Chain A
Amino acid sequence: MITAGIDIGAKTVKVVVAGDGKVLGKGLVPAGLDTTAATEQAFDKALADAGLSKDKVGGIVATGTGRKDCTLTDREITEVGAAAKGAVQVLPSCRTVIDVGAEEGRTIRCNGAGKVIDFAFNEKCAAGAGTFAEGMARALQVPLEELGPLSLKSKKATQMNAQCAVFAESEVVTLIHAKTPREDIARAVLDAVASRIISMVRKVGFEKDVMVIGGVALNPGFIEGMKRGLEMEVFVPEEPEYVGAIGAALAAAE
């Protein structure tokens, strides 16, 4: 059976078309202001990618914060449930999923069937999410996608003293004035995000294997910070932003 999973996030809409547990096509479109249009576009993209027409799709499930607004289906699954299903599909040994998006971080503990055992969200605090890194990259005058690679050049850990996003931005400026190497500042920023996320992870605890998904997982500096903080290897799937949509597509087949 061919199914589709639609993940409507705060910044992007992701669609996966799957058949018998295999991903056949994918599409990603910025959410913009018109989510309905963006969802349709992403769906079309995924269908085109799979080389299938709409009528072949036997079931659709929506997930993500915007799932209630999805006009293509009324079947839904929470982003927590979708992430667990998707992660175990991508990596069967996965038992802990850490999902870090633009505005929020989540930790999900699951079993081998992709069923959620426990989960935690980070509380309202920008320092534990992608937006924080984005703001800091701006203060450092580095494009966001270069922040991670830049931080990897750092040989020295620098502690960010400010615990809040507003103070942190001026602290970055202070560090720049103090002639701190830019790579060290980049690392300090990403370590700070990782530290916040790890705080949340410890709340539910973690078990091998640990997978990091969500947009921020694409940042190699952040991933290094996570490995150092958790003192273990973490797994990042090839396209971490699609894991939720994969989970939704699997749910559609159930």
Chain B
Amino acid sequence: MATKAKYKTAPLKCWKKVKELRLKYYEDYAKAHERGGLRWVGGAWTFSAIPSGLGEDVYSLTSEPYGASIAADKQMSLRCLEASEKAGYARDLCAYMRNYWGSILINEYAFGGTFPKPDFIWQDHICCSHAKWYQVVSDLEGGLPNFCVDVAVGPYEEVAPHKVDYIVEQMQDGIEWMEKVTGRRYNDDLLIEAVKNEFRSTSLWAEICAMNKQVPAPLEEKTMYSLYVLGTLNKHDRSTADFFEELRDEVKERVDQGIAAIPNEQCRLMSDTQPPWGFLSIFRYMEEFGAISVGSLYTFGLIGIWEDKPDGSWGPRTTPMDQGIEITSREQALQLYADWTLAKPEWQHFYSPHIKTKMMARIAKEWKLDGIMLHYNRGCEGLSIGIAENRLGLIEAGYPVMSFEGNMGDEREFDETRVRARFDAFMETLGVAKVGRA
């Protein structure tokens, strides 16, 4: 059934560019050695600006987006998951890692060729699996130099100098360690440049997400996944910061011209935790109801850095550069970097689901939502922690909530038919009827 579109829509102009940047990232990592450069691995949340001080030919592979890339390829994912299970790793462990370890075990790189062995590991630790993932990576690669920074110092609302110092001291130790394992001299100017890039890109991403408060929303979450990914790969890189600036301008243009992400927006929702990557078609199904997911704490706050604005709303955190702070030393850069990152919204719920509920209720209000879909994600204990309390808290705050179980990276744990059925029932409860795709 086709209906006349309520809003005009248009494809994103920078769509092609983000695809190219993403592929270039994976290619750069694979080809780093050919070019005499270095390869390192770490999580998407690691302080990725720090290895930049080793030179301009240093390339990374971040594990979670890499695991998600594998998950999107159901054939390869299954072979990877089975290889990890055969090696003795439990099926309920992080699904990204089981894909990633499997890729090492079957020695296949998801972007062609054999798996490119890294030179060292540079990781952070807040989820109780983070540093442990890389112990396993090191085991599987026959031993790798491995450094992890513990960032679990408590929620940002309780930040104190000794907490920032603990992280900064570990970073300082990490830099010395890096010099030792790579035999390179560390360049503070490159570090400062990278840290500034990261302030820019993570603030810009928040600015982009904040524009989705607009009705109709200029972006829908499935598209946002393809855009924010750069922040999980290369948040410290100039190319990411520049791209997000370009994207910010384009989204602003869409808002000004009333261009919508979907033609018949009539029900605004948000999701929570990573989606089941092999089943993003569920978002297209939602469109049949004129339902749009305008984002989530996950999409907004995984890499976006936010702050309270003077008018009480939630918006992008003002960068040290915009505050007129000149960064001149390693110590200063690291202090600012640690404090900046500790404000990450997706780090707060590790200490209390109640903090997360407050942030989610705030999004629901400011982004004008009609309902919330919670993905009880068996693939990620770090983002699913406390999710049941979030459900209770959001209902208490007056929002209709639908929950469904799945797995971001292991399709064997996602039942598409049942989830669609649940979505149907949820729409029926909200009194939303199908509008058909325009």
> Is B403 a contact of A120 with CB atoms below 8 Å?
yes
Q: For chain A, give the interface size range.
A: 10 to 19
Closest partner residue, chain A, to B405 (CB atom):
A123
Asked if A78 meets B424 with Cβ closer than 8 Å, knowing A120-B403, A123-B405, the reply is yes
The minimal Cβ–Cβ distance linking A117 to chain B, given in whole angstroms, is: 8
> Is A78 a contact of B405 with CB atoms below 8 Å?
no
Q: Hey, what's the 0/1 contact readout for A62-81 against B, CB within 8 Å counting as 1?
A: 00010000000000011111
Query: Which residue from A65, A116, A118, A124 sits with its C-beta under 8 Å from B421?
Result: A65
Asked if A78 meets B395 with Cβ closer than 8 Å, knowing A121-B418, A123-B405, the reply is no
Q: Hey, what's the 0/1 contact readout for B259-280 against A, CB within 8 Å counting as 1?
A: 0000000000000000000000
Asked if A78 meets B403 with Cβ closer than 8 Å, knowing A118-B395, A121-B418, A124-B415, the reply is no
Q: Is B425 an interface residue (CB 8 A)?
A: yes
> Is B395 a contact of A81 with CB atoms below 8 Å?
no
> Is B421 a contact of A78 with CB atoms below 8 Å?
yes
Measured between beta carbons, the chain B residues less than 8 angstroms from A43 are none
Asked if A80 meets B425 with Cβ closer than 8 Å, knowing A118-B395, A124-B405, the reply is yes
Measured between beta carbons, the chain A residues less than 8 angstroms from B417 are 65
Query: Which residue from A81, A116, A117, A121 sits with its C-beta under 8 Å from B422?
Result: A121
The minimal Cβ–Cβ distance linking A216 to chain B, given in whole angstroms, is: 18
Q: Is A119 an interface residue (CB 8 A)?
A: yes
> Is B405 a contact of A79 with CB atoms below 8 Å?
no
Alpha-carbon separation in the docked complex, A79 to B417 (Å): 14
Measured between beta carbons, the chain A residues less than 8 angstroms from B418 are 104, 121
Query: Which residue from B388, B400, B413, B428 sits with its C-beta under 8 Å from A77?
Result: B428
Given contacts A81-B425, A81-B429, A119-B429, 16 further A-B contacts (CB under 8 A): A65-B417, A78-B424, A78-B425, A78-B428, A79-B425, A80-B428, A80-B429, A81-B428, A116-B428, A118-B429, A119-B425, A120-B403, A121-B422, A123-B376, A124-B415, A203-B388
Q: Which residues of B are interface residues toward A (Cβ below 8 A)?
A: 376, 388, 395, 400-401, 403, 405, 413, 415, 417-418, 421-422, 424-425, 428-429
Q: Which residues of A are interface residues toward B (Cβ below 8 A)?
A: 65, 77-81, 104, 116-121, 123-124, 203
Between A and B, 17 residue pairs with Cβ closer than 8 Å are: A65-B421, A78-B421, A78-B424, A78-B425, A78-B428, A79-B421, A80-B425, A81-B425, A81-B428, A104-B418, A118-B400, A118-B401, A119-B425, A119-B429, A121-B422, A123-B405, A124-B405
